[in-house]
Structure 1
Amino acid sequence: MPKQIYFFAALLWAGVIAFFCLVQLNNVPLGNVSNLDKLVHVFFHLVLTMLCFLFFQKHTNDINSLKPIIISFLFSVFFGIGIEIAQELLTATRHADVFDVLANLSGAILGVAFILLFDLKTKVR
Structure 2
Amino acid sequence: MKTIKPLSERKDLFLFLAIIWTFFIAYLCLARFKSLPKIGLSGADKYVHVILYFVFTSLWSFYLKAKASFSNASLVKVVFAAIVYGSAIEIAQGLFTTTRKADIMDVLANTSGSILAVMAILIGTRFAAKKI
Could you tell me which residue of structure 1 aligns to residue 88 of structure 2?
Answer: 82
Whether contact under 8 Å (1:56, 1:72) holds in the other structure is no
- Which residue, out of 54, 57, 69, partners 2:62? 54
Aligned residues: 123
Counterpart amino acid of residue 34 in structure 1: S
- What TM-score, normalized to structure 2? 0.87
Deviation at 1:77, TM superposition (A): 1.2
| Distance across 2 between alignment mates of 1:117 and 1:39 | 22
Deviation at 1:2, TM superposition (A): 2.9
Identity %: 35
Deviation at 1:26, TM superposition (A): 5.5
- Which residue, out of 21, 26, 37, partners 2:45? 37
| Residue 22, structure 1, aligned to residue 30, structure 2 | yes
Could you tell me which residue of structure 2 aligns to residue 95 of structure 1?
Answer: 101
Could you tell me which residue of structure 1 aligns to residue 110 of structure 2?
Answer: 104
Counterpart amino acid of residue 62 in structure 2: L
Could you tell me which residue of structure 1 aligns to residue 6 of structure 2?
Answer: none
Could you tell me which residue of structure 1 aligns to residue 127 of structure 2?
Answer: 121
Deviation at 1:92, TM superposition (A): 1.1
Deviation at 1:74, TM superposition (A): 1.2
Counterpart amino acid of residue 86 in structure 2: G
- Which residue, out of 58, 72, 75, partners 1:69? 75
Question: Between Structure 1 and Structure 2, whose CA radius of gyration is higher?
Answer: 2
Deviation at 1:112, TM superposition (A): 0.3
Deviation at 1:30, TM superposition (A): 2.7
Deviation at 1:56, TM superposition (A): 1.5
Q: Structure 1, residues 65-117: CA drift from partner, whole Å, max 9, x if none?
A: 21221121111111101100110111111110000000001000001001001
| Distance across 2 between alignment mates of 1:34 and 1:25 | 20
Counterpart amino acid of residue 22 in structure 2: A
- What TM-score, normalized to structure 1? 0.91
| Distance across 2 between alignment mates of 1:6 and 1:70 | 18
